[in-house]
């Protein structure tokens, strides 16, 4: 019996040992891959995406089935500007996971944005996502709403004609404030631009310029038919040239003012012939043209910005056209009787939208405005409802959430940096804590903050790339002159880094606020052979990437380009890299504007100006300093203890906004 037991034990030991050796080998291999992933995650969270790529690739060479390494390799490619390589990696990951929904969604997003339909809604099919009923808003109730404005934070301002109230709601429909500016007031038209709001008071024949807190900055107008006088002001609209247009309905004209209240001109008079108006109600501006709803003449009258008549637009039969609004190529007209009319300037397609979901329809539609993500806010005056519609294309794919890094340096405080985009790649701005759910290792985070960047004092962080190739020597004295358009406006909380480049790049002046030190660096006669614009721009974007201020890259060059100027990094990589992180590239040229440089500037959200375009040069600093910071920082305290050093924590971010949803996972190693 004893011998049998010993023999059995020996056999069992041999079997278990032979099974254990390959298991131990796999553990060692995985542990080696994990070390590379930890190094890759360090660089990823420091936003050193090219370095992160190398470590994730090394981890996959050792352990090809490491899902986290494979996913983060794709993310690093995407965030580094290598969109095609990211797409290839996600395709491999899709095969590995046999159709993971989140991976498929990322592939679909990239494919859609590179398709024919990129950036343009081609159909007019709408889905109602939200309905605001004043009866449900308590003290923020509005009566007989007339017009709507949407600010950069997606807050909504509603004018109430019956009681003269202005109501402000946040992006989720929660009340922020109500303002009454006159007991007998009847507020009518409203428009928003760059932190300022114009609102007309029909009863008091005035236009108020207010800030986003509702405080009055200026009053324009009085009763009458002379300059600076109104007889029932209705629609208002800010122009592209720092002007304000006001529809003076009772006087059958439109008046144009500076935002300081200075009268510029008036155009239109009573009648039915060309250039004449009959009870106009609203106004919108596109490029150099001004579009007026000529209500009693049942048409849209078009003037140039100097008040000269251009044409009457009648793409379809109107009944009572009231509100008019233009966003990019889309024109919306609110017709009191027929509903919502939509017109595409690019292809001249047009369509009426009057009912939905069977029996629902508008009752006295007075206004329909569009936000940056294509949502349409329609004011149904008679039944006092605000309807929010989404183009049907927006509902096909989820919201894209892109986690750019996770900062655990101040553990147990965790900061998750992420970008939120719609299916066209446009940033979704103005989300609040109510739009987010964060889950860490299966537990929902109860205290979450998303306002970190918004609460910071506005400041600019910029990298100035200066072309120091041999051909630029002839413009040496012009380079400091161009830079002065930025340097003269800088404040002590701003910072500018000067990066010189020829075939290589070198720092001429580190981040600094000093105009004197910057000019000294710019005046150094420091030139070299060759030129690699692509490398300089890529290095500049990488440099400004982690900065917490408003960010921008500025390039000074002669404006010529050749294929050899983008040896290290192509223009496509530069564009995708900058767009991934909302960093605009502004280009100041000393001679010309090559099509390639124009494309880089335009597609990254920047602009290109020649040295002779002084008005444009003067706007560069302000455009960067006053831009929206589209990054979100999700701050929370983790429940984990420091003793769990090296532990991987899974983080899931969920976003819900106007009927759209998005999900993304991320994570961090406990430091």
Residue keyed to tokens 């004043």: 134
CATH code 2.60.40.10 for 397-451+630-669: yes
* Superfamily of the domain at 460-625: von Willebrand factor, type A domain (3.40.50.410)
Which numeric CATH code is attached to 29-113? 1.25.40.10
Helices (H) and strands (E) in the chain, counts: 13, 41
Q: From the CA atom positions of the chain, what is the Rg in Å?
A: 29
The DSSP call for residue 618 is T
CATH class entry, domain 146-336: mainly beta
Give the integer Cα–Cα distance in Å for 358 and 354. 11
pLDDT < 50 stretches in the chain: 1-23, 116-121
Q: Cα angle at 570 between 566 and 573, to 5 degrees?
A: 145
**Domain limits of the chain?**
29-113, 146-336, 397-451+630-669, 460-625
| Residues present in the chain in total | 671
Find the helix or strand (DSSP H, E) in which 92 lies. helix 83-97
Give the integer Cα–Cα distance in Å for 225 and 229. 5
> Which one, of 105, 79, 109, lies nearest residue 93 by Cα?
105
- Report CA-CA distances (Å) from 268 to 308, 325, 331, 348: 9, 20, 22, 26
Q: Which residues have C-beta within 8 Å of that of residue 200, sequence separation ≥ 6?
A: 187, 188, 189, 190, 206, 207, 208, 233, 234, 235, 236, 246
The DSSP call for residue 458 is P
> Which one, of 592, 585, 584, 598, lies nearest residue 610 by Cα?
592
- Report CA-CA distances (Å) from 368 to 196, 225, 247: 20, 29, 17
Assign 3-class secondary structure to 183-242: CCCCEEEEEEECCEEEEEECCCCEEEEEECCCCEEEEECEECCCCCEECCEEEEEECCCC
**pLDDT score, position 101:** 82
Give the integer Cα–Cα distance in Å for 204 and 653. 49
**pLDDT score, position 54:** 97
**pLDDT score, position 11:** 35
Assign 3-class secondary structure to 390-427: EEHHHHHCCCEEEEEEEECCCCCEEEEEEEEECCCCCE
Contact 154, 127 (CB under 8 A): no
Give the integer Cα–Cα distance in Å for 357 and 362. 12
Farthest-apart Cα atoms in the chain, separation: 120
**pLDDT score, position 2:** 36
For residue 111, the SS3 value is helix
């Amino acid at each position: 019996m004893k011998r049998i037991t010993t023999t059995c034990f020996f056999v069992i030991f041999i079997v278990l040992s032979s099974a254990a050796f390959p298991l131990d080998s796999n553990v060692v291999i995985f542990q080696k891959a994990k070390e590379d992933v930890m190094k890759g995650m360090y660089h990823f969270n420091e936003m050193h995406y090219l370095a992160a790529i190398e470590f994730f690739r090394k981890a996959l060479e050792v352990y090809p089935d490491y899902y986290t390494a494979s996913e983060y390799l794709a993310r690093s490619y995407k965030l580094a500007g290598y969109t095609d390589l990211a797409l290839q990696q996600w395709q491999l990951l899709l095969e590995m996971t046999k159709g993971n929904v989140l991976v498929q969604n990322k592939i679909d997003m990239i494919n859609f944005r590179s398709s024919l339909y990129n950036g343009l809604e081609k159909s007019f099919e709408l889905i109602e996502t939200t309905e605001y009923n004043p009866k449900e808003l308590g003290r923020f109730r509005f009566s007989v709403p007339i017009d709507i404005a949407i600010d950069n934070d997606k807050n909504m301002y509603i004018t109430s004609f019956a009681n003269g109230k202005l109501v402000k709601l946040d992006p989720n429909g929660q009340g922020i404030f109500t303002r009454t500016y006159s007991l007998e007031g009847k507020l009518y038209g409203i428009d928003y631009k760059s932190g300022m709001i114009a609102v007309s008071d029909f009863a008091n024949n005035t236009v108020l310029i207010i800030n986003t807190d509702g405080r009055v900055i200026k009053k324009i107008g009085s009763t009458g038919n002379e300059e600076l006088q109104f007889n029932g002001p209705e629609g208002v609209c800010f122009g592209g040239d720092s002007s304000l247009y006001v529809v003076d309905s009772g006087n059958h004209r439109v008046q144009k003012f500076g935002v300081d209240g200075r009268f510029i001109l008036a155009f239109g008079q009573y009648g039915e012939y060309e250039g004449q108006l009959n009870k106009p109600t609203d106004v919108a501006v596109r490029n150099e043209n001004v579009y007026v709803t000529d209500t009693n003449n049942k048409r849209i009258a078009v003037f140039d910005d100097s008040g000269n008549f251009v044409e009457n637009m009648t793409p379809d039969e109107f009944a009572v056209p009231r509100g008019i609004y233009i966003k990019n190529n889309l024109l919306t007209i609110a017709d009191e009787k027929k509903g919502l009319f939509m017109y595409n300037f690019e292809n001249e397609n047009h369509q009426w939208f009057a009912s939905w979901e069977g029996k629902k329809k508008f009752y006295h539609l007075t206004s329909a405005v569009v936000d940056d993500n294509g949502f349409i806010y329609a004011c149904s005056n008679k039944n006092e409802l605000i309807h929010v519609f989404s183009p049907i294309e927006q509902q096909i794919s989820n919201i894209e959430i892109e986690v750019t890094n996770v900062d655990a340096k101040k553990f147990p405080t965790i900061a998750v940096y992420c970008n939120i985009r719609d299916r066209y790649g446009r940033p979704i701005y103005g989300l609040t804590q109510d739009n987010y759910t964060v889950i860490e290792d299966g537990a929902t985070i109860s205290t979450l903050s998303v306002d970190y960047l918004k609460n910071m004092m506005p400041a600019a962080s910029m990298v100035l790339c200066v072309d120091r190739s041999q051909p630029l020597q002839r413009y040496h004295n012009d380079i400091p002159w161009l830079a002065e358009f930025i340097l003269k406006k800088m404040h002590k909380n701003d910072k500018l880094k000067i990066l010189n480049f020829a075939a290589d790049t070198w720092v001429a002046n580190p981040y600094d606020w000093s105009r004197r030190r910057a000019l000294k660096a710019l005046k150094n006669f420091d030139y070299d052979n060759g030129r690699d614009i692509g490398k300089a721009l890529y290095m500049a974007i990488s440099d400004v990437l982690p900065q917490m201020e408003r960010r921008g890259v500025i390039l000074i060059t002669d404006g010529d380009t050749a294929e050899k100027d983008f040896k290290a990094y192509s223009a496509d990589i530069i564009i995708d890299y900058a767009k991934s992180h909302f960093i605009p590239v502004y280009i100041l040229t000393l001679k010309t504007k090559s099509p390639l440089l124009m494309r880089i500037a335009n597609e990254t959200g920047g602009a290109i100006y020649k040295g002779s375009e002084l008005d444009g040069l003067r706007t560069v600093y302000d455009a960067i300093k006053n831009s929206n910071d589209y990054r979100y920082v999700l701050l929370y305290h983790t429940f984990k203890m420091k003793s769990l050093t090296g532990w991987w924590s899974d983080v899931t971010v969920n976003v819900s906004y106007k009927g759209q949803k998005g999900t993304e996972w991320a994570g961090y190693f406990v430091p």
